[in-house]
Structure 1
Amino acid sequence: MKRPVFLTVLAAGLLAGPVMAGAKTFTTELVTVRAETLARGLENPWGLDFLPDGSALITERSGQLRLFSEDTLSDPISGLPDIAVFGQGGLLDVAVAPDFEETGAVFFSYSQPGPDGAGTAIARARLIRDGKKPRLDGVSTIFSMNGKSGAGQHFGSRLVFHPDGTLFFTIGDRGQSERAQDRADHAGSVLRINPDGSVPQDNPFADDTKAAPEIWSIGHRNPQGALYDPVTQSIWTVEHGARGGDEVNRPEAGKNYGWPVISYGVNYSGTKIGLGTEAPGYEQPEFYWDPSIAPSGAAVYQGAMFPEWDGDLLVAALKYHLVSRLKRDENGTITGEERLFRGAFGRIRDVSVAPDGALWLLTDKRRGELIRIHRAD
């Protein structure tokens, strides 16, 4: 059995534009970098994606979507659906369609209210920029999870497009761990749909009448990071463990990643989870953290600015206030870890690679920041 690697703007009150007075320099193992604040005052920013012109869409968990363009942060973009903002729920991730230049399509995940509570949903819309304030048009919810509940935790949810045109996304177990083992329940899963919300015919459970056809893999606790990795040509996810046992996985079609049957963490009470760390029929993670770092957004580094990091994974962490650089060999195998910016910026919710190769970070707080990391030498 494979074993995992283990290593112990002035707009609506927002300040935008580089704030060089607060610039900081960091010496990492391979390169010296400088951090500058691009915007302040974001309300618990959650996700970010770049448009073809280099501007970026940024979500705030409190229910606002903003455009950062030419050092200016927009007012909230109109057109969003009703969002259930409570606990860990709200407006979550955003992804720009690969064909955006032709369609103007953007996708976002959010906690959708319903009669039984709330659940993760995915919507599609067109971003309109016609010289006026940016707005969304033609908003349509293309996926809505089953089993909505009043629980305020573990909505997931990251979005990532695969080169085959399908959309992968994640949903947590909604605080009810046993749901992650039910193939008919969207909770605790990695899922895959077409951009119109239909189910790809090659999904592992597309023809299984006892399973939810959108599901790609099950047994996930709360994946808040997802990316497409060109090195291994596969989807990777990052998920919160309980007390310890945060995981990096490479989900494969139809497979079970163990939660809550196996885990490298323990319950918050200190008691054992399930059967322990492994059992037949359950996949091992590629990497895990114990103690937990509370990982969130993740990216694979590909860019001209930091060739020293080419192919490495970058994981934002809420606990310890850092970015974990997971070093990889030419085959994509994780070989080690470097912890960057520990304690410098507070809770880091997301990390993205900009078109010029710089890193953009979102800090998770009431007056959150957008921070750019660039080369200093």
Structure 2
Amino acid sequence: MKTWIVLLASTLVLPAHASNHITDSEKKTPLQVETIAQFNGIPWGLVLLDNQTAIVAIKNGAAYRVNLATRMTTRLTGLPNVDNRGQGGLLDVAIPPIANTQNWLYFTYAKPTSEGSTTALGRAKLDNNHLSDWQDVLVTNAVVSGTKHYGSRITFDNKGHVFFSIGDRGERDLAQDLSNHAGSIIRLRLDGSVPSDNPFVSDANSRNEIWSYGHRNPQGIYYDAKTDTLWSNEHGPRGGDEINLIRAGGNYGWPIVSYGKEYWGPSIGDGAEKEGIDNPEVVFTPSIAPGSLLRYKSSNASDWNGDFISPALALRHLNRVSINQDGEYTETRYLEDLNERLRSIAQDDTGVLYIGTDSGKLLKVTLNGS
């Protein structure tokens, strides 16, 4: 089924950390939206092997190969057991950008243990529709009995490193405790070994795998090879969702500071900013609950090139953010008429977007002119 939708955009141009937006009824962008597949479960993770093939990770522990041309879906075998309670399950799926990596697929998932569950990074080789030689690259020290805030997204730089995000697991003070992995972004070599230049390798009281910390629940992470920068977006509490530029050793403040508030009203910690804390580049209040994150790039001429794109859960839209050199940003919201909780996203070489929804759909979204 193919539908052309003309979507109302809401736009703002304000200093970073501003949170209001205005609606421009004259600015409309036509997007072509098609449903490619319908799954029995939430497509939490999504990666394209090429412009014709997607791998979709379903929260309940299944994964599928999808032929994007024929729309045929085939279930993969060889996945581990996952803790599918609460926000746990099979989370993200990603492939390294480096050639000759032996067809490895990387996954994050909620790994069950005797004391609860934790975010784990695993990898396996894709052989037709079977995953072989499964390896747990890192089972993180973030085990709690609760089932909140696992993260978790994966990205790779072009230097042989894998990054993945972990939430605070619902126990906020863990995000400031470097003796565990909760509330952090992790950096490893592809085989799981720790790079010697990680920021905390010389600290006996810190986890050597940690790249940055003080994160609440990062649901998107993206390495921009063009600028050699790492970015994340994460959920705040009541307001205060963020896009962050991630630096080695950075403390992103949770729960010492937050632009959000407690659900029952008061401010959190010491306010919004504090010396020694890395401030967000963009703040969303009210919360949009961002999903996965990418930076749009296409060989076709497009004014979207270089903009951050993420699906949004709470406000049910596709979010586009452009940040200029002065830190001012423009936010535009699309697909609001679909009324879908949008979670996972991937982009092919031609600029076509694929989006997973909490209702189980895999959508194909084509920009006008793409």
Same fold (TM > 0.5): yes
Q: Does 1:342 align with 2:341?
A: no
Secondary structure at 1:250's aligned position in 2?
strand
Q: Name the residue aligned to 1:270.
A: 265
The 3 A distance-change label for structure 1 pair 95 and 62 is same
- Does the 8 Å contact 2:8/2:334 carry over to 1? no
Q: Name the residue aligned to 1:121.
A: 120
**What CA distance in whole angstroms lies between the structure 1 residues aligned with 2:270 and 2:367?**
46
Of 361, 367, 370, which aligns to 1:375?
Answer: 367
**What CA distance in whole angstroms lies between the structure 2 residues aligned with 1:236 and 1:341?**
24
- Does the 8 Å contact 1:23/1:37 carry over to 2? no
Deviation at 1:352, TM superposition (A): 1.6
Gaps of 5+ in 2: 10-26
TM-superposition CA deviations, 1:89-138 (whole Å, max 9, x none): 00000001224665111100000011110000000100001xxxx01000
The 3 A distance-change label for structure 1 pair 127 and 333 is farther
The 3 A distance-change label for structure 1 pair 73 and 101 is farther
The 3 A distance-change label for structure 1 pair 231 and 336 is farther
TM-superposition CA deviations, 1:337-371 (whole Å, max 9, x none): 01111141410002221122111111112xx1111
Q: Name the residue aligned to 2:204.
A: 209
- Does the 8 Å contact 2:299/2:349 carry over to 1? no
Deviation at 1:209, TM superposition (A): 0.6
**What CA distance in whole angstroms lies between the structure 1 residues aligned with 2:8 and 2:299?**
19
1:318 counterpart letter in structure 2: L
Secondary structure at 2:322's aligned position in 1?
strand
The 3 A distance-change label for structure 1 pair 101 and 68 is farther
1:97 counterpart letter in structure 2: P
**TM-score normalised to structure 1 length:** 0.89
Q: Name the residue aligned to 1:81.
A: 80
**What CA distance in whole angstroms lies between the structure 2 residues aligned with 1:352 and 1:114?**
31
Gaps of 5+ in 1: 1-18
- Does the 8 Å contact 1:25/1:376 carry over to 2? no
Q: Name the residue aligned to 2:231.
A: 236
Of 290, 297, 300, which aligns to 1:302?
Answer: 297
Q: Name the residue aligned to 1:182.
A: 177
Deviation at 1:332, TM superposition (A): 9.0
The 3 A distance-change label for structure 1 pair 143 and 332 is farther
Deviation at 1:163, TM superposition (A): 1.2
Q: Name the residue aligned to 2:288.
A: 293
TM-superposition CA deviations, 1:190-230 (whole Å, max 9, x none): 11011111101100011211100000011000000000124
TM-superposition CA deviations, 1:155-198 (whole Å, max 9, x none): 00000001111001000000000000001110000110111111
Secondary structure at 2:292's aligned position in 1?
strand
Q: Does 1:92 align with 2:87?
A: no
**What CA distance in whole angstroms lies between the structure 2 residues aligned with 1:276 and 1:27?**
34
Q: Name the residue aligned to 2:52.
A: 54
**What CA distance in whole angstroms lies between the structure 2 residues aligned with 1:37 and 1:100?**
31
Moved over 3 A (4+): 22-31, 99-102, 331-334
Deviation at 1:265, TM superposition (A): 0.4
Q: Does 1:364 align with 2:358?
A: yes
**What CA distance in whole angstroms lies between the structure 2 residues aligned with 1:78 and 1:39?**
19
TM-superposition CA deviations, 1:13-39 (whole Å, max 9, x none): xxxxxx22x554446647422111111
**What CA distance in whole angstroms lies between the structure 2 residues aligned with 1:297 and 1:341?**
16
Deviation at 1:80, TM superposition (A): 0.5
Q: Name the residue aligned to 1:255.
A: 250
**What CA distance in whole angstroms lies between the structure 2 residues aligned with 1:283 and 1:87?**
30
The count of aligned residue pairs is 351
**What CA distance in whole angstroms lies between the structure 1 residues aligned with 2:8 and 2:279?**
34
- Does the 8 Å contact 1:64/1:77 carry over to 2? yes
Deviation at 1:82, TM superposition (A): 1.5
Deviation at 1:41, TM superposition (A): 2.8
**What CA distance in whole angstroms lies between the structure 1 residues aligned with 2:74 and 2:45?**
17
Q: Name the residue aligned to 1:33.
A: 31
Q: CA RMSD in A?
A: 1.7
1:362 counterpart letter in structure 2: G
Secondary structure at 1:179's aligned position in 2?
helix
**TM-score normalised to structure 2 length:** 0.91
1:372 counterpart letter in structure 2: K
The 3 A distance-change label for structure 1 pair 60 and 152 is same
